[in-house]
Amino acid sequence: MNDVIVVGARCAGSATARLLAQKGYRTLIVDRASFPSDMPMSTHLLWHAGASQLDQWGLLDAVKASGCPPLTDVSLDLGAFTLTGRPPSDGVDAAYAPRRKVLDGILLDAAIAEGATLRENFMVEDVVREDGRVVGIRGARRGEPAETVRARLVIGADGRTSGIARAVSAPAYNELPELQGMRFSYFSGVPLTTVTFVAGTRRMVFAWPTNDGLTLVGIASAIEDFHETRHDVEGHFFAELAKWAPGLAERVRAGTREHAWLGGAIDSFCRKPFGPGWALVGDAGLTLDPITAAGMTDAFRDAQLLADAVDEGLAGRRDLEAALADFEQRRNAASLPRYFFTGQMAKLDPPAPEIVQLFGALRNNQADTDRYFGVFAQTVPVSEFFDPANLTRIIA
């Protein structure tokens, strides 16, 4: 029998599976997809803290070897002026934006190298319960009869629409509606070396380079405006880009779009990430709006937190459910300040007067500009930077 079944082989699932297999647990990964495969709805920005986590796991060199460029600088064009800085480092001094077919493949190969087993094209139909406890899954590979696969713990890493979360009726809390929507694509011939943001009225332009000489360029719009653009995506995209980022618009028009238009809008929520015989990690357990591009970095952090908790429980050092309850508390302590900060940002409202003051004060203050960008890079805590005393110090 397996010790753990991980449902979902993307960045949260493969990372968790690798960590558990490395600790000696019999770990099975199942996924409905076959690999390598892309994940087109991901903007795949991995902030500095996420890159540091990959480095600690010994996997960052593989990302570098894929040709994905390091992104040391972040810029925010506010119209009247542009803030540019380098977030403080917690080990790695750059962000990366690897395509998911690259990153997920690196993580999955690493999990298999540590002894995890993969079943691709496997559709999970339901969890299996005995005496009120999840003891496995029931599902099948395409074209094959259904089977029951048992484990001491089933981990749902199957995304925001998690079938495992639905099967165990995992309760949601801190729910936020769709607040903004994104449209983006990949362009060749648009060289870029920074993580770039351009603020507009109810808009945010974003761009960064990825693998294969491509640059991802997108626009986030307030949700009401986003839905109005769906009938002429390309026309609206270039009109908005020319309005808010004319220099970038010229470069993008001189390049070549190499992919279909992508994007959408999602709601945000936290889910209780554990119960008898089951746990959730990644977007299955907590999904936040993508405006701060925190998803993959959060997934790596939570994979480590969950693997440590599962190890405590399965090894018998603690009661498993008590260890998983601590995982939820640690996840929330790390996530919720950024979760609510992200929710405010995603409204794309005009900045409050105190934020206008803050940006003005940062204009000639490189050290604190760097720390402001560190909030997004997850090397500076949200609560620390936005502490009223710290804001008063900067503005004064």
**Could you give the CA distance from residue 216 to residue 208 in angstroms, rounded to a whole number?**
6
Instruction: State the CATH number of the domain containing residue 245.
Output: 3.30.9.100
> Does residue 90 lie within any of the structural domains?
no
Same domain, 210 and 331: no
What does the alpha-carbon distance between residue 244 and residue 239 come to, in Å, rounded to a whole number? 9
Instruction: Please say whether the beta carbons of 284 and 32 come within 8 A.
Output: no
- Report the percent of the chain where pLDDT is more than 90: 94
How remote is the C-alpha of 57 from its chain's centroid? 18
Same domain, 276 and 381: no
* 159-186 pLDDT tens trace: 999 999 999 999 999 999 999 999 999 9
**Do 149 and 114 reside in the same domain of the chain?**
yes
Q: Which residue segment(s) compose the domain that 216 sits in?
A: 180-264
Cis amide leading into 98 (omega within 30): no
Question: Is there a single domain that holds both residue 363 and residue 214?
Answer: no
Q: Does 389 fall in a domain? A: yes
- Dump the DSSP string for 162-186: -HHHHHTTPPEEEEE---EEEEEEE
Q: Is residue 92 part of a domain?
A: no
Cα–Cα dist 4/315, whole Å: 13
Encoded amino acid at 278, one letter: W
Chain CA centroid to CA 170, Å: 21
What does the pLDDT look like over 357-384, one tens digit per residue? 999 999 999 999 999 999 999 999 999 9
60 lies in some domain: no
* 169 and 209 housed in the same domain: no
**By C-alpha distance, which of 234, 236, 241, 228 is closest to 200?**
241
Helix (H) and strand (E) counts for the chain? 14, 19
Q: Do 130 and 161 belong to one domain? A: yes
Digit-coded pLDDT (tens) for 197-235: 999 999 999 999 999 999 999 999 999 999 887 788 999
Cβ atoms of 153 and 276 within 8 Å: the answer is no
Note whether 190 and 256 are same-domain residues: yes
Domains held by the chain: number: 3
For residue 387, pLDDT over 80 is answered with yes
For residue 88, the 8-state DSSP code is P
Q: Which of 215, 245, 264 is the last residue of a domain?
A: 264
Q: How confident is the model at residue 292 (pLDDT cuts 50, 70, 90)?
A: very high
With 80 as the cut, is the pLDDT of residue 275 above it? yes
Three-state SS for 167?
Answer: helix
Does 361 share its domain with 322?
no
Residues 157, 37 share a domain: yes
Is residue 156 within 8 Å of residue 163, measured between CB atoms? Answer: yes
Instruction: Output the six-digit token pair for 177.
Output: 């509606």
Are 141 and 184 in a shared domain? no
pLDDT at residue 90, rounded to an integer: 87
Q: Do the beta carbons of residue 220 and residue 348 sit within 8 Å? A: yes
